[in-house]
Amino acid sequence: MTAAQPFSVRVREIVELAPSLKRFSFEPAHGGAFPTPPAGGHVLLTLRDGARVMKNAYSLVSPPSERARYDIIVRLVAQSRGGSSFLHRRVAAGDVLEMANPVSLFPLASTAKKHLLIGGGIGITPLLSFLPELKARGARFELHQLATLEEVPVFERLLAPYAAGEEIRVHGGGRAAFDLAGLLARQPLGTHVYVCGPHSLMDAVASTAAALGWPKGKVHKESFGGDVTGLPFRAVLRKSGIEVEVGESQSLLEAIEAAGVEAPCLCRGGACGQCATSLVEGEADHRDDFLSAEEKAAGTLIMTCVSRARGPRIVIDL
Amino acid sequence: MTVQFKPAETFRDTFTYKKSPEDLLRFPFPFPEDSYMYSVNIEPHVRGGPTAAFQAVFDIDEHYIAECKERARVLAEDPKRCQVLPHMMTAEWDTLELIMESLAADYPEHFTLSKDGDAWTWVNRPLGIQQSFIFGKAETLPCGPFEYITRQAQGDFTLQDQREDNLFVDGGMVTTQADWSLEFDIGMSFHEWHGPVPLAHEKGVFDRALKYLLRLQYGQPVRRLNWTMTVNPRLDTSPENYPVWGPDKASVTPQNVADKVHLRVELQTLYRLPRSNAILFGIRCYLTSVADIAKVPKWRRRLHRVLRDLNPDIAAYKGLPRFREMVVDYLAPLDDGAPTSAGIAPDIDKIEA
């Protein structure tokens, strides 16, 4: 229950699945067990390459029953200068990394009569965490994975443990040969569709489903969300007489607290109104549910727990 | 901590329920300031906090065994107090896992959970239970997993499914409730089941609370305190049993008010569950008589001021009008007008005899 602090994980094993695909297994660096991984959940890894700090989200592919290790699969993106390149080229078994508590923004619907899973390329990863959960529920499902021709056997191997007696297919013929409209049209009433992959695929599934009259709530797209993040900025705390730098994955409130200034707060999610602070200079990027549209437009208050600066600098009355 | 359980105390008929001085000081007093109005008073459910009631994920106190017995009695009389809709089976297992793991970690002297793959063994020493079962196989437990574990926990629980950008109360174990009915509410959406609450809708409290809860994250539970007042230390004040407890309100007199009337506090906790993505809502009920509250100087001053100035619509909704004045009259001479510190902590570490 201690509100999720990042924890240290040790790389237990790295397996090359294909020339550009590696599976990384992590274990808790200080022993014990991980929290039960949420179905469709992801973790945020902090990767430190010298002075450069990257925070990348990866879907967990391990089943909810597996608490000794967390697995992710990472594709090396051509010309990557970011996290995937760092993980593929610089991280070795035994290394210790920082991981945030898993988050689930891509859950399975409990009322679905049937689950239709569609993955494109590396978008297979959250679907791999769905499969053991769907099996455990005894739920009806169907899975279609799109892949390049050379990666078809790789994905078939990953899906093999769940394939017996199930409708699981890997398509290597490209998007043009994949009859998305036909697939969606023949689903029984009460089916929910889940898609993860390139934006073009996710948009195609959403628009095709909409055109066929699927209710919006039955179409689910993978999302890593995180609406507290944004461009870094500087906040001047007028009463305290200090300035704080707010990093891109940090909230204004967290930066204020890190500087040792006690700031009012309660829910830390933009709902209760406790952290409302006078905005003296600069413009706020309001992300809370507390201030009215008029109050937001007036621009004299900011909710430090979720809202940010629109611009490089703000001055607040703290 | 060494809790001395009081298995024989009762919450009906003879009402032998009593608080020890230690139990009184751990009471989660619900008023952080001298006045009260509805707000989205939700905060992270982190260990620690102003009293010992906030030390564990699920708080166990000296009334644990007696409360579990009372729950069993209520269920025997009215099995519909526990209901879970069929699509919440995954959430039932999530609940069992969360409560068993939390109790075993927080109270190793009372509870032990051992696992060999899916073969689990649960030991509950206060209730004398040892149960081996297969996680995920409901037929290996004497009843459904949600009912099984919530029969062994203090306080009520409901399960909320999240769909269509809303929450639906699709299950619950409700035997210690402040006049609401699971049988009536089951399947309702967030705004439906909060329908009767006055003032808060107009203030947008429920719109904001719903948006907040839809974003509730796994591993980051939150909590809030709610309150009302109950005549006699009766846990089961359900609409179904109104004929049993409703007349109690007429029994309050200026002579017995301090012992009869209890401040009823709910320590409400909300957890996102991993497999199901449902929300588990814990509603842990604490009862403290006005006479006991009067033993804590800060609390008696503040309760007096809150009740004296309470909005009449809120007083009516909480069912206080028949005895509010009597409580205020009892507390008034005990309020010396001194300022009170912010927050709910008792500010004393010992109750004067």
Read off the pLDDT of residues B169-214 as tens digits, 9 standing for 90 and up: 999 999 999 999 999 999 999 999 998 888 888 888 888 899 899 9
What pTM was computed for the model? Answer: 0.92
- Tell me how far apart the alpha carbons of residues A154 and A58 are, in angstroms, rounded to a whole number: 19
Q: Collapsing DSSP states into helix, strand and coil, what is residue B99? A: helix
- Tell me how far apart the alpha carbons of residues B198 and A271 are, in angstroms, rounded to a whole number: 19
Q: What does the pLDDT read at residue A201?
A: 93
Q: Name the maximum alpha-carbon separation found in chain A.
A: 67
Q: What does the pLDDT read at residue B352?
A: 77
Q: Is B137 on the interface with A (CB under 8 A)?
A: no
Lowest-confidence pick of B40-44, B102-106, B175-179, B333-337: B40-44
Query: How much is the ipTM here?
Result: 0.90
Q: Is B87 on the interface with A (CB under 8 A)?
A: yes
First-last CA distance in chain A: 30
Q: What does the pLDDT read at residue A289?
A: 82
Q: What does the pLDDT read at residue A81?
A: 60
Q: Does A80 have pLDDT greater than 80? A: no
Q: Is A17 on the interface with B (CB under 8 A)?
A: no
A111, closest residue in chain B (CA to CA): B87
A137, closest residue in chain B (CA to CA): B90
pLDDT band at A224 (very low <50, low <70, confident <90, very high): low
**What is the signed CA dihedral for A282, A286, A290, A294, rounded to 10 degrees?**
70
Say how many residues make up chain A: 318
Read off the pLDDT of residues A283-315 as tens digits, 9 standing for 90 and up: 999 988 889 889 999 999 999 988 999 999 999
A101, closest residue in chain B (CA to CA): B219
Whether B169 and B162 have beta carbons less than 8 Å apart is answered as no
Residue A41: how many CB atoms within 10 A of its CB? 27
- Chain B stretch 270-299, residues whose beta carbon is closer than 8 A to a beta carbon of chain A: 272, 274-278
**Residue contacts between A and B (CB atoms, under 8 Å):** 117
Q: What does the pLDDT read at residue A180?
A: 96
Q: Does A226 have pLDDT greater than 60? A: no
Q: What does the pLDDT read at residue A225?
A: 53
Residue with tokens 């301090």, as numbered in its chain: B258
Contacts A217 to B, Cβ<8 Å: 163-165
Q: Say which of A101, A136, A272 has its CB closest to residue B40.
A: A272
Q: Is B47 on the interface with A (CB under 8 A)?
A: yes
